[in-house]
């Protein structure tokens, strides 16, 4: 197993800590007087997204986490989970509920996602920054009132609810920023 010493610590390095894969967010070298040197490290637990503040004696090593990110196409979901395919190897992976918790409301067929694998299993999924989805439910449009700048909720085909301008109608295709959930524009009329 590969180990990383504290002097290799830098943001983005993936380590195994207390059994969970983590990514270093910040690494600070601290040394009191002529005393023991420490590394004060902020890490993101890649299983649950939580931030950890930990301290290690300088010179200590932690095992590397076998974590890598691959671009994959979203295929479908079923009772087993959410299925993705690696575009280069055609290998298929099934992600569990926790891995897709933050992105499932944006996933529709063939979306290109970044899937983080830990020991070959999907750990988390990043949706494309922008997706195009169809409106399945919203209050009737108020034509001619676009200047007022009002907004209303609209439900999309994946179940996500976004705030949209009043003129949007059922069947319209919208472009949405998945990082903020913000409406970007109408790309097709229903």
Chain residues that interact with another protein, rule: CB under 8 A: 7, 28-38, 54-59
Distances (CA, A) of 65 to 94, 104, 132, 161, 165: 20, 25, 34, 36, 45
Task: Select 37 or 114, whichever has its Cβ closest to another protein.
Answer: 37
DSSP 146-170: GGG--EEEEEETTS-EEEEETT--T
Least Cβ distance, residue 14 to another protein (angstroms): 19
Integer Cα distance of 190 and 173 in angstroms: 7
Least Cβ distance, residue 66 to another protein (angstroms): 22
Nearest of 49, 50, 26 to residue 126 by alpha carbon: 49
Least Cβ distance, residue 8 to another protein (angstroms): 12
Least Cβ distance, residue 50 to another protein (angstroms): 17
Integer Cα distance of 150 and 174 in angstroms: 17
Integer Cα distance of 8 and 37 in angstroms: 15
Find how far residue 104's CA is from the centre of its chain.
10
Least Cβ distance, residue 49 to another protein (angstroms): 22
Q: Are 131 and 106 in contact (CB under 8 A)?
A: yes
Task: Select 31 or 50, whichever has its Cβ closest to another protein.
Answer: 31
Task: Select 58 or 184, whichever has its Cβ closest to another protein.
Answer: 58
Task: Select 28 or 145, whichever has its Cβ closest to another protein.
Answer: 28
Task: Select 38 or 167, whichever has its Cβ closest to another protein.
Answer: 38
């Amino acid at each position: 197993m590969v180990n990383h010493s504290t002097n290799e610590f830098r943001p983005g390095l993936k380590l195994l800590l207390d059994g969970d894969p983590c990514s270093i967010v910040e690494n600070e070298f601290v040394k009191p007087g002529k005393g023991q040197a420490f590394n004060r490290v902020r890490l993101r637990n890649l299983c649950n997204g939580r931030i950890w503040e930990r301290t290690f004696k300088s010179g200590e090593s932690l095992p590397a986490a076998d974590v890598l990110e691959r671009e994959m196409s979203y295929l479908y979901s079923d009772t087993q989970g959410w299925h993705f395919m690696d575009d280069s190897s055609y290998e298929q992976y099934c992600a569990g509920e926790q891995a897709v918790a933050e992105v499932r409301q944006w996933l529709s067929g063939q979306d290109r996602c970044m899937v983080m694998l830990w020991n070959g299993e999907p750990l988390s999924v990043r949706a494309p920054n922008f997706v195009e989805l169809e409106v399945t439910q919203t209050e009737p449009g108020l034509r001619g009132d676009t200047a007022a700048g009002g907004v209303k909720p609209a439900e999309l085909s994946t179940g996500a609810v976004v705030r949209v301008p009043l003129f949007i109608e059922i069947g319209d295709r919208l472009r949405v920023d998945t990082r903020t959930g913000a409406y970007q524009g109408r790309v097709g009329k229903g």
